[in-house]
Amino acid sequence: MSRLKSILVFFLNIFKHNLKFKLIALFSAVILWFYVILQTPYNRIIEVPVQIQLPDSLVFDGDVPNSVKIEFVGTLRDFFLFGKFGQPYVYLNLQSVTSGEQNLDIYPENVIYPDWIGVKTQGKNSLQIFLQNLDSLFLPLQIEESLLIQSNWRIVEYSIKPDYTWVVGGREDLKKLRQRPLTVKPELGEDFSFSIQCTVELEIPQMPTKPFSRDSFIVVDFKLDSLVLIEKKLPVTITGSSGFYAMPDSVKLFALVSASLIDQISTDDIVLFTRPTRSDMHSSELQIEWPYYGQVETTWFEISQVKLIPK
């Protein structure tokens, strides 16, 4: 035990001798080590935001990458400053570019730093984009054909304001929109009357260049009419031959008629008839003849066919 104690005392005496110089040497070694480490070359791949300036005559065809991976080189000290103060971005001015597919090379001068922080770019980087020529088109508007309303009402007429709208977008996308009118789908609700006005938000089909119109809302005025059910049993007339009779010889007709026009319709003007042929003696199709196609919403028969019996 005494021997171990004497060894410890020996080393403590050595450490106390010239302690000031030894601490200075240790501190200098640590500083030198940090300096060497901070000056060590280093590289890192970092995702950097992208800003692209297009001429007014072009528009992006599809989604645009909002960042690109760039390889930076520098020392650890440079990257320490980079992490604290560096917010670089890629700036591409494409004033001379044309429409179509474009593969853009990113050069060191395209990387913009807010302050010089020592790091530099390394390697070749590129970005792929697609462009269309910017254009506009004057397109008609109409209500959607599948617009459903309550079964006891019908749309007599409607008007849309505006009935045409300017749509701005890529030229190729506008060519597709030209093929058919833009449609709006009003919500008529459940409280019907003979005159209804609806305000509808215009929705343009989703396309790569995101076409848009400054007419965001469309006003649609409807004139409606209620429907009245007509039910009438009518005799079946056989045309083209007098050698048959029909079974049954009368069939009930149903029709939905506009209420405002009901007084103009006479069931005496309606004729149910069938024409005998050799192929359909046992199942002859019923047909209707009347002058009221414009006033009637829809018609149907109690049965659609009759049998023809020779006399």
Q: Which of 93-107, 266-280, 294-308 has the highest mean pLDDT?
A: 93-107
- Residue 267 tokens, joined: 């069931």
For range 149-174, the mean pLDDT: 87
Residue 201 has pLDDT above 60, yes or no: yes
Return the bridge partners of 198, or none: 220
Question: Regarding predicted confidence, which is higher, 6 or 311?
Answer: 311
| Rounded Cα distance, 250 and 285, in Å | 13
Is the pLDDT reported for residue 35 higher than 60?
no
> In percent, how much of the chain has pLDDT > 90?
24
User: Whole-angstrom distance between the N-terminal and C-terminal Cα of the chain?
Assistant: 142
Average pLDDT over residues 145-158: 75
Q: For residue 118, what pLDDT is reported?
A: 75
Position 14, amino acid: I
Supply 219's token pair.
């006003």
Q: Is 253 exposed, middle or buried (0-12, 13-18, 19+ CB in 10 A)?
A: buried
Contact 141, 163 (CB under 8 A): yes
Mean pLDDT of all residues in 58-83: 83
Distance CA 222, CA 262 (A): 20
pLDDT at 274: 85
If one compares 71 and 101, the residue with the highest pLDDT of the two is 101
Cβ pair 264, 295 in contact under 8 A:
yes
β-pair partners for 47: 69
- The answer on pLDDT for 294 being more than 90 is no
| 49 or 146, higher pLDDT | 49
CB 137 within 8 A of CB 178: yes
Q: What percent of the chain has pLDDT over 70?
A: 81
